[in-house]
């Protein structure tokens, strides 16, 4: 098998299905493109000879790859079906370019280029073939690189003799809008001992620590009045929103933090003469600090109600996901096996606290400890997302090594 070519062919095949998620939609999946992709994956798996597939109404696809060896751990791999909507084109036009060190033109018509000057990490990949979009969309390696790794693995298991236990795949929707699919994954139909997500980041990265994450929505109803008669009457909801945002500034912002530092991120702001709303993302690695951040927002809401008694001020806080590490406990078998696979392949492990979340955050919160390993890509959620081909292949090699060492 030419693994490199199969990975690329699979990637281009699945990228062709537009599958952005939509945060405004509450159904699962939030978009029909994700259901279409899940159906395509099911058909491809059935064509390979895998008969135990379950495509649920939620868009979740669960597949059992029967083992030929008993007395070993059952493995699970999870990837998400959706690509992120950051206001770029939903249609992805991938391309492979050979990088020699000079700036690369991604789109001649729109004069879109990428260079080490704006993306210094490119310097590590001189002399390599790299996958890019045409600069009008994300590349979608988040997470179709993982889907391609899993589907290539499924094909290899049919053609390459190897002893392994049962393996389960889960393809879940709507990761980008709150890990909704992973939260809905019925674990009784996914009975695995060791589970892994494949998502994010450069060659060698291992993630078993993520943010605790929440979202807060402050809504404000003011009082409208004509300026000629506004004195002691008008209550401007936009100024109350500005008060609220101003009191968040000294508690960390994404652009001012790194490592294990938490933050508040004002993600949406809407207002008119009558009402206003502020959406805030809450992030912290430490559980106590995360709880303290939520309490701080509650104190701010109480303060604003007292400062602006004529206004109606309401605060709603929702927990979105939790730190994977909190679910690890003393059973580190899945993580130990991952580090051993990297060691066997001579891929240096780069363990990072992920300043985000994976589907593993939701699964770990349900009791299934789920670390994550790399796809090899860079610059997720960006038109300059790119995936070096050798790193892509190494992601597959890690998955294969996890299987053959079961």
Q: Which domains does the chain have, with CATH numbers?
A: 3-210+323-404 (3.40.630.10), 212-321 (3.30.70.360)
| pLDDT value at residue 356 | 87
| pLDDT value at residue 37 | 98
Q: d(Cα 348, Cα 341) in Å, to the nearest integer?
A: 10
The structure's pTM equals 0.91
Mean pLDDT by 10 residues, the chain (406 residues): 94 98 96 98 97 96 95 96 96 97 97 96 97 97 98 96 95 96 97 96 95 97 95 96 95 94 96 98 96 98 97 97 88 94 98 92 94 97 97 98 92
> Omega into 143 within 30° of 0, i.e. cis?
yes
Q: d(Cα 383, Cα 229) in Å, to the nearest integer?
A: 50
175 is catalytic: yes
User: Which position among 42, 82, 85, 166 bears the catalytic label?
Assistant: 82
| pLDDT value at residue 260 | 93
Q: Any residues with CB less than 8 A from the CB of 323 and at least 6 apart, and which?
A: 209, 210, 211, 212, 285, 287, 361
Q: d(Cα 391, Cα 376) in Å, to the nearest integer?
A: 5
346 is catalytic: no
| pLDDT value at residue 232 | 93
> Omega into 392 within 30° of 0, i.e. cis?
no
User: Which position among 166, 174, 175, 205 bears the catalytic label?
Assistant: 175
- Angle (deg, nearest 10), helices 389-404 and 141-159: 50
Question: Three-state SS for 12?
Answer: helix
> Of 24, 22, 168, 40, which is closest to residue 82 (Cα–Cα)?
22
């Amino acid at each position: 098998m030419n693994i490199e070519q199969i990975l690329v062919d699979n990637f281009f095949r699945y990228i062709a299905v537009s599958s952005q998620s939509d945060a405004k939609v509450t159904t699962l999946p939030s978009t029909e493109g994700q259901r279409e992709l899940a159906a395509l994956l099911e058909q491809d798996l059935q064509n390979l000879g895998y008969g135990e597939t379950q495509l649920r109404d939620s868009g979740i696809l669960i597949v059992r790859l029967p083992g030929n060896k008993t007395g070993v751990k059952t493995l699970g791999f999870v990837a998400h079906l959706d690509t992120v909507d950051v206001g770029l084109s939903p249609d992805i036009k991938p391309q492979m370019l050979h990088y020699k060190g000079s700036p690369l033109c991604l789109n001649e018509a729109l004069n879109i280029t990428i260079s080490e000057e704006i993306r210094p990490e490119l310097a590590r990949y001189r002399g390599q073939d790299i996958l890019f979009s045409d600069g009008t969309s994300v590349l979608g390696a988040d997470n179709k690189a993982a889907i391609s790794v899993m589907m290539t693995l499924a094909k290899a298991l049919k053609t390459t003799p190897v002893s392994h236990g049962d393996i389960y795949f889960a393809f879940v929707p709507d990761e980008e809008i709150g890990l909704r699919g992973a939260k809905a994954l019925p674990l009784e139909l996914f009975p695995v001992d060791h589970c892994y997500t494949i998502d994010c980041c450069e060659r060698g990265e291992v993630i078993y620590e993520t943010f605790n994450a929440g979202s807060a929505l402050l809504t404000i109803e003011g009082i409208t009045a004509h300026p000629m008669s506004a004195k002691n009457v008008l209550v401007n909801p936009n100024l109350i929103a500005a008060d609220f945002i101003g009191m968040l500034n000294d508690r960390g912002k994404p652009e001012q933090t790194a490592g294990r530092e938490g933050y508040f991120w004002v993600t949406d702001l809407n207002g008119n003469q009558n009402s206003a709303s502020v959406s805030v993302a809450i992030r912290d690695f430490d559980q106590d600090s995360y709880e303290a951040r939520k309490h701080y927002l509650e104190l701010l809401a109480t303060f604003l109600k007292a400062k602006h008694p004529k206004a109606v001020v309401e605060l709603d806080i929702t927990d979105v996901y939790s730190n994977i590490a909190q679910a690890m406990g003393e059973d580190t078998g899945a993580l130990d096996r991952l580090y051993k696979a990297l060691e066997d392949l001579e891929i240096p492990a780069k363990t990072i606290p992920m300043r985000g979340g994976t589907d593993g955050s939701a699964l770990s919160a349900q009791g299934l400890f789920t670390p994550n390993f790399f796809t090899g890509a860079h610059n997720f959620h960006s038109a300059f997302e790119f995936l070096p081909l050798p790193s892509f292949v190494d992601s597959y090699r890690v998955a294969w090594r996890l299987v053959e060492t079961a």
